[in-house]
């Protein structure tokens, strides 16, 4: 650990936005929190008014827990707001800058985007898709993926994007649950120099059975190497070539008039906690939430180039690659491939080449960059960057400071954004022109959002920004959202009971997020991870996150995952799985030193009982550590559902090694 980082952590230092940043910021007046808290409905209505509506709403919000509706009676179209209105006003502005893994690039202006979206929309109509249908999208992270999403929105069909790394079974399960009539795919995508044979996987899914699928629209991009041929496929009667079908369409396709509460998309969550849930989002509220948060959290402006590294298979790609930035008329950078192909500086090369100004990525990536070393970012010019974001997991203070210092050059504000597929848009975050940040804290709720930190009985402290924070030092509890907000999910597709039970039954009338959070004495929120991941050790609540951050602050540790293992006396005992940085050997001496280090940083109560040094950790395909599987390993149980793991072999080999060591 560098000395600067050590000092910063010890000082619990705040980072304030620079006067230059504040002078230009979309939001720089702290009173925004107070006014939004006094009238959240009015606050959101103000943002909705900045979208284009075909017909106004008569009621802003109708909340009958657990159901909320927003902008009732209002009519609009998401594609109109993300494409047409900018194609009319600024036709030559860039909408999408795309770079493929092999290095191919493509830029689409808003005028071009409108033409392409309209053609694909007409193609979907020719294939029989009508308003109210669902379409499943299984594509690599190419411009056509965003185009396909917007084409569905244009004709009023709900899309369900399935991440291109998922298997045939996962695709089949999600496609059938959503009852999608058409699948849009590509022949293949690039990942670490290899072809991901998407069309072949679609064919396997069709073999497994997708009875309601009538057509598959295939974007041919890779050709022979993808190993699939439309003409000779066993499913050739279903397959349609994008080049042919889209190619013959007119670029004139009027936008369907959609009700504010009509379905925009269904997105299945990554499954860190169990069977994937089909999270439903509707049009008006979702667009309002993503539009407002993009403008204020990313401070998005006309001349920005917004690089969100998430795939559109996740909600982050939906909200902050497609809908939020494009609703703002912004320019987004889409990159198809892996961050280490051809070398570990790929992101930095992309930023340098295209002059990206905003970078939004995940802690898992940041920890990998730290492990790879400084030489990679240091050999690229990152001076175009002016803002950095993080999402997906709690970010360890160590990683936050590294990101701020080495990627942001010490000048870029860092926004750590907490939210979920279910919330649609960012809920807890700094506003970069206003909020002094602290490494590791997501800071305050977004204006108009009221968060409570509550105990088992549902009583606790409510936080709605800087004015209303009365932190009780160190108080931790459940994260609860008090008010409905426009972009909240409207439910779980096909499973209303699960929706009510999961989010609204623990604290009736309030949204229970399933995460733990701690409030500090300055009213800052510190996310502790999933409630299931919080340990109860000898009567003390200890978050896996805190112990992991303590471990990661040791120079030998690259990554750590901590779990509570059943213990006769203590209830739970702390077990840690640790990946070492290059150059460190897994000795007993080191294990002892790490235990001492944690005890020193947090207290003796948090000292891990055992530390297991491993080469890899089980992660979801979105890069999150799956602690429930590590609990299965440590407690010697059969492994639970592993279908959403990025690499299921990691956990089975880990289990074998662990059991060998134990015996
Ligand atoms: P599933 O719900 O199927 O188990 P998931 O929760 O991983 O999957 P997402 O909706 O993509 O699916 O992730 C939301 C969760 O990610 C949050 O509930 C939280 O646990 C975690 N998270 C996201 N951003 C942050 C953040 N900035 N800080 C801490 N945790 C975060
Ligand atoms: Mg979740």
Is ligand 1 within 6 A of the CB of residue 269?
yes
Is ligand 1 within 6 A of the CB of residue 548?
no
Mean of pLDDT values over 239-256: 98
Give the integer Cα–Cα distance in Å for 362 and 393: 7
Least confident of 349-358, 520-529, 568-577, 638-647: 638-647
Is ligand 1 within 6 A of the CB of residue 625?
no
Beta-carbon contacts of 120 under 8 Å, excluding residues fewer than 6 positions away, are: 144, 147, 148, 151, 242, 246, 249
Is ligand 1 within 6 A of the CB of residue 361?
no
What's the Cα-to-Cα distance from 254 to each of 33, 54, 84, 219, 274, rounded to whole Å? 39, 13, 10, 23, 41
Mean of pLDDT values over 356-376: 95
496 CA distance to ligand 2 middle (Å) = 17
Mean of pLDDT values over 392-410: 95
Give the residue, out of 163, 367, 393, with the most ligand 1 atoms within 8 A of its beta carbon, to mutate for a pocket test: 393
The number of the ligand nearest the C-alpha atom of 428 reads: 1
Residue of 80, 102, 124, 391 whose CA lies nearest to 249: 124
Least confident of 174-178, 206-210, 420-424, 467-471: 467-471
Residue identifier of the C-alpha nearest atom 16 of ligand 1: 392
Give the residue, out of 266, 392, 395, with the most ligand 1 atoms within 8 A of its beta carbon, to mutate for a pocket test: 392
In this predicted structure, the answer to whether residue 114 has a pLDDT above a threshold of 70 is yes
Is ligand 1 within 6 A of the CB of residue 363?
no
Is ligand 1 within 6 A of the CB of residue 185?
no
Please give the structure tokens belonging to residue 17: 């936005």
> What phi and psi values does residue 464 have, to the nearest 5 degrees?
-140, 50
Mean of pLDDT values over 328-352: 97
The number of the ligand nearest the C-alpha atom of 529 reads: 1
Question: Taking all residues of the chain, what is their mean pLDDT, rounded to a whole number?
Answer: 93
276 CA distance to ligand 2 middle (Å) = 9
The number of the ligand nearest the C-alpha atom of 423 reads: 1
In this predicted structure, the answer to whether residue 472 has a pLDDT above a threshold of 80 is no
Give the integer Cα–Cα distance in Å for 384 and 334: 17
Is ligand 1 within 6 A of the CB of residue 556?
no
The number of the ligand nearest the C-alpha atom of 417 reads: 1
Atom of ligand 1 nearest to the CA of 268: 3
Whether the CB-CB separation of 44 and 288 falls below 8 Å is answered with yes
306 CA distance to ligand 1 middle (Å) = 22
Class of domain 78-264: alpha beta
Residue of 332, 341, 348 whose CA lies nearest to 107: 332
Least confident of 194-208, 243-257, 344-358, 525-539: 525-539
Least confident of 297-301, 324-328, 638-642: 638-642
Better pLDDT: 71 or 641? 71
> Domain boundaries in the chain?
78-264, 538-662
* pLDDT at residue number 373: 92
In this predicted structure, the answer to whether residue 53 has a pLDDT above a threshold of 90 is yes
* pLDDT at residue number 1: 45
Is ligand 1 within 6 A of the CB of residue 515?
yes
Label residue 281 by pLDDT band (50, 70, 90): very high
- pTM (2 d.p.): 0.94
* pLDDT at residue number 470: 55
Atom of ligand 1 nearest to the CA of 271: 3
Give the residue, out of 268, 421, 426, with the most ligand 1 atoms within 8 A of its beta carbon, to mutate for a pocket test: 421
* pLDDT at residue number 474: 62
Digit-coded pLDDT (tens) for 64-100: 999 999 999 999 999 999 999 999 999 999 999 999 9
Residue identifier of the C-alpha nearest atom 14 of ligand 1: 420
CATH superfamily of 538-662: ANL, C-terminal domain (3.30.300.30)
In this predicted structure, the answer to whether residue 226 has a pLDDT above a threshold of 90 is no
């Amino acid at each position: 650990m560098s000395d600067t980082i050590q000092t910063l952590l010890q000082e619990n230092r705040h980072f304030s936005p620079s006067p230059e940043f504040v002078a230009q910021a979309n939001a720089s007046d702290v009173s925004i929190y107070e006014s939004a808290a006094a009238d959240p409905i009015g606050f959101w209505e103000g943002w909705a008014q900045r979208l284009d509506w075909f017909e106004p709403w008569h009621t802003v919000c109708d909340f009958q827990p657990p159901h909320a509706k927003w902008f009732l009676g209002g009519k609009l179209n998401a594609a109109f707001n993300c494409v047409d209105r900018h194609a009319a006003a600024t036709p030559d502005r860039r909408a999408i800058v795309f770079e493929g893994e092999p290095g191919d690039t493509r830029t689409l202006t808003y005028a071009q985007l409108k033409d392409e979206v309209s053609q694909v929309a007409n193609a979907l109509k020719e294939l029989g898709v009508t308003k109210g249908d669902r379409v499943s999208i299984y594509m690599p992270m190419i411009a056509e993926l965003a185009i396909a999403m917007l084409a569905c929105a244009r004709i009023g069909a709900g899309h369900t994007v399935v991440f291109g790394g998922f298997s045939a079974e996962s695709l089949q399960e999600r496609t059938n649950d959503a009852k999608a009539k058409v699948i849009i795919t590509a022949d293949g995508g690039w990942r670490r120099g290899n072809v991901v044979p998407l069309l072949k996987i679609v064919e396997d899914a069709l073999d497994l059975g997708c009875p309601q699928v009538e057509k598959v629209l295939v974007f041919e991009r890779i050709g022979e190497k993808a190993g699939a041929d439309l003409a000779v496929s066993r499913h050739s009667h279903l397959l349609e070539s994008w080049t042919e079908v889209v190619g013959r369409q007119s670029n004139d396709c009027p936008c369907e008039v959609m009700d504010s509460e009509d379905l925009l998309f269904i997105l299945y969550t990554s499954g860190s906690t169990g069977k994937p849930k089909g999270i439903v989002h509707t049009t008006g509220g979702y667009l309002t939430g993503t539009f407002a948060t993009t403008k204020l959290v990313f401070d998005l402006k006309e001349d920005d180039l917004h690089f969100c590294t998430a795939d559109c298979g996740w909600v982050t790609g939906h909200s902050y690659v497609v809908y939020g930035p494009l609703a703002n008329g912004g320019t987004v950078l889409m990159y198809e491939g892996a961050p280490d192909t051809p070398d570990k500086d790929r992101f930095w090369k992309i930023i340098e080449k295209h002059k990206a100004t905003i970078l939004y990525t995940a802690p898992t990536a940041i920890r990998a960059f730290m492990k790879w070393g400084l030489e990679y970012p240091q050999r690229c010019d990152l001076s175009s960057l002016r803002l950095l974001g993080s999402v997906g997991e709690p970010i360890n203070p160590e990683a936050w400071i590294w990101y701020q210092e080495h990627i942001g050059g010490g000048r870029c504000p860092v926004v750590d954004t907490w939210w979920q597929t279910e919330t649609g848009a960012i809920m807890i975050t700094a506003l970069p022109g206003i909020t002094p940040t602290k490494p590791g804290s997501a800071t305050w709720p977004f204006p108009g959002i009221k968060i409570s930190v509550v105990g088992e009985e549902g009583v606790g402290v409510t936080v709605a920004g800087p004015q209303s924070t009365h932190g009780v030092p160190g108080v931790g509890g459940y994260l609860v959202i008090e008010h409905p907000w426009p972009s909240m999910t409207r439910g779980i597709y096909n499973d209303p009971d699960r929706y009510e039970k999961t989010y609204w039954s623990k604290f009736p009338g309030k949204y229970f997020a399933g995460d733990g959070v701690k409030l500090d004495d300055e009213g800052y929120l510190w996310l502790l991870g999933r409630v299931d991941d919080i340990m109860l050790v000898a009567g003390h609540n200890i978050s896996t996150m805190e112990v992991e951050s303590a471990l990661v602050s040791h120079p030998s540790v690259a990554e750590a995952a901590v779990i509570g293992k059943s213990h006769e006396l203590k209830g739970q005992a702390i077990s840690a799985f640790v990946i070492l940085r290059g150059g460190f050997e897994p000795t007993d001496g080191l294990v002892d030193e790490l235990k001492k280090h944690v005890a020193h940083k947090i207290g003796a109560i948090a000292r891990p009982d055992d530390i297991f040094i491993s080469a890899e950790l089980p992660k979801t395909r979105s890069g999150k550590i799956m602690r429930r599987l590590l609990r299965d390993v440590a407690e010697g149980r059969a492994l639970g559902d592993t279908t959403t793991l990025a690499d299921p072999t990691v956990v089975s080999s880990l289990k074998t090694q662990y059991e060998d060591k134990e015996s």
